[in-house]
Structure 1
Amino acid sequence: MRLSSTEEEQHSRGVPFQSLEDLSLYGLPNFIGLLKWEGGEAVSPLPHCAFSQLKMLHIYDCGKMKMLLPWSLVQNLHNLQKLDVSNCDEMEEIIGDDGRDPTANSNNNVTRPKLKDFSL
C-alpha cells in the first residue's frame, strides 16, 4: 500500500491493516503520524493485531512527523524486517510515548528479531 499527497482519509472496518505487509508513505508534508492524537494520547487504542503482518515500512518526505512509532504500535510489529525513514526533518523520537505506560504490560521487553534493515 502506498499513500502520497492526498486529502482523502482512509478508513477500514474491523482490525485496521491486519494483513498489510508493505507500507510506503511519501510526499506527505502535513502527515504527523500513524495514529490520530488528541491531547497527547491516541484517540483510540490499536487492536492487538493491527499491522501485525507488516514486514516493510518506508517513510519519506513527511516533514511534520515528530514521532516515528508510538509504543502501542511497536508492540504489534512482530514481523517487521525493514524500516526506512528519510527526509522527515522534524523527527524527534523513534519510539515515542503515546500516553500508555509500557511498564504496565507484563511483557514490556519488546524485541524485533526479524528487523534486519533499519535506516534513518
Structure 2
Amino acid sequence: MLKIHVSVAIRFVFNFAFRYSKEEVMEAISRFAENATLVRELSDEQGLYLLEAKVEGENSGETTQYEYMRKGRFPNHNEASETAIYKVYYENEIPVGGDKVAVYKSETGEWEDVR
C-alpha cells in the first residue's frame, strides 16, 4: 500500500514541478529576445503548456517566434519529450529555419542555454 502512495506522490510532484506561469515563460524568453510580444498561449488542467511570442525582424516580413512547450501530451496531438524553448525564423509567415535555445533541467530547476 505504501508503494502506491509514494508513487502517487512522486507523480504529483513530477507533474507540478514543471509548471510555469505566462510571466515566468516570458521572462525565460527575454534571455534570448528583447521586446518579444505574446502571440498565443494554451493551458490544460496542469497549467500553461504552450506559449508563442514573436519579435519583428529588421526587414519587412521577417519575424522570429519563440515557442515554449511543456513536456507531455496535449490536445490536437501535440507532444513534447522535454520542456523546451524553440526559436523559429519566418519570412512572410513561412517558417525558414529554427533552433532549440533552452531546455528545462529538472535536476537543477533551471533553464539550460543550448544554443
Q: What is the TM-score of this pair, normalised by structure 2? A: 0.25
Structure of greater Rg: 2
Which structure has more strand as a fraction of its residues? 2
Higher relative contact order (CA 8 A, sep 6+): 1
